[in-house]
Every structure is written in structure tokens, then in C-alpha cells.
Amino acid sequence: MRKIEDCRLYTFIDGAYLNGREPGDVARALIEGGSDIIQLRMKNASPEEVLKAAQSVVKITQAASIPLVINDHPQVAAAVGAQYVHLGQEDFFEGGYRDVREVSEALKPTFKDVSFRVGLSSHAPVQALNAEAAGAAYLGVGPVYATGTKLQARPVTLEYVRWAAAHLHLPWFAIGGVKLWNLPELMEAGARRICVVSDILQADDIAAQCRKYRAQLDQSR
């Protein structure tokens, strides 16, 4: 299974952008295009619906040795054996957690083997430092630009990206409004890992769009 340190292109299966496609088909296209890690995010779905989607996707990601991230549902991650859970600041710190190990510990009465790691969102330096201290496996840094997936969130701008590049010691991914045209300035600001949602999922050919991002990232090695 690919290590988080080796992941640069972080992609999504987002319920808001399925457009009638099956999650498993989207997963195959993302992997074909060179995605390093895939998150299943279904904000408006029931836990049962998320579980069903995760069960279909995890077989595909495991066969390709691509890590699967489950957004917001630790119990689903435990049930399907996903490698990561991703939580927002409000779900983690405001949910009463102080250490990422507490997330898996809470599920052990129900699941015998809980081995996922936890990634956290951050929108400011203090949040990033708190997440790092809590033991996060990786961080999302953003939204860097305005994005339709987070309409109420104020962009953190390239200033936060530059801060992250200078201060963070764990793997982090720039997220929010990432496009092919702004990727060069993101990388110039210090980003080496990126999350891309709508610009890939809304493409006519998901795999081909992934390959365009993959090519730009690989050129920056």
C-alpha cells in the first residue's frame, strides 16, 4: 500500500459530482489517471449509503495498492478496512478529541481490528500546529482559493501555503480551488502535494484530466 509520504495527487469520489456514475467506476478512472490516494466523500448520504459505496470502492483501491480515505465516518472506515479517515476541525477538536488515537479507540468495542490513521483539515497555522500535536497522519491546507465545495469558507491564500512549507513536518496537501492553471503558483509557494476535486470530477474524461495533473507534479520532482 502506498505510503502517505509518497502521495502527491489526492483525488476524490464526491457524491456531489457523481453525476449518475458509480463510485467504483470513478475510482477506476482516478487510478488509471495516476491518483496516489482517494477520498470517498458523500456529505449528504446516510451512513448506510456511505458504507455501500465504500464496500465497492475499497476492493478497487486495495487491488491497486492505493490508500482509501473515508470522510467523516470512522465507523465506515473500520468496517471496510480503509487506511484513513479524514475529519474537519469541527468534527475532531470541537467533537472532543485531543489525540487521533481516541478516534479508533472509541470504535474498538464494536470492531476488533481498527487500524486506520486520521487526516485533519486546517485553515490557519494554529490549527495546523494543533493537528500536528494531536498526531494527525497528514493535513489538508486550505481552501487556498475560493471553491464550490466549501462555499462558506474564506480562502486561506498562498500565504498559508508558504507558512506550511516553512513550518510543517508532516505530509500536507494544498486543497481548495486547485486548477491546472494555478498549480504552478501553488508549487512555487511550496506545495508538493495537492487535493483536486471538481476540476477532475467534472472533466469529460476523468483519467485524462488526472494525467494532466500527474504530469505537472512529476515535472516538479
Give the domain CATH number at 78.
3.20.20.70
Residue 42 binned pLDDT confidence (cut-offs 50, 70, 90): very high
Cβ–Cβ < 8 Å for 39, 27: no
* Displacement of CA 133 from its chain's centroid (Å): 19
Residue range(s) defining the domain that contains residue 153: 4-219
Residue 112 binned pLDDT confidence (cut-offs 50, 70, 90): confident
Torsion sign across C-alpha atoms 99, 103, 109, 113:
negative
DSSP secondary structure string, the chain? ---GGG--EEEEEEGGG-TT--HHHHHHHHHHTT-SEEEEE-TTS-HHHHHHHHHHHHHHHHHTT--EEEES-HHHHHHHT-SEEEE-HHHHTTTT-SSTHHHHHTTTTT-S----EEEEEESSHHHHHHHHHTT-SEEEE---S--TTSTTPPP-HHHHHHHHHHH--S-EEE-SS--TTTHHHHHHTT---EEE-HHHHTSSSHHHHHHHHHHHHHHT-
pTM: 0.95
Question: What's the structural domain count of the chain?
Answer: 1
pLDDT at 152: 66
pLDDT in tens, 56-108: 999 999 999 999 999 999 999 999 999 999 999 999 998 889 999 999 999 98
pLDDT in tens, 172-187: 999 999 999 999 999 9
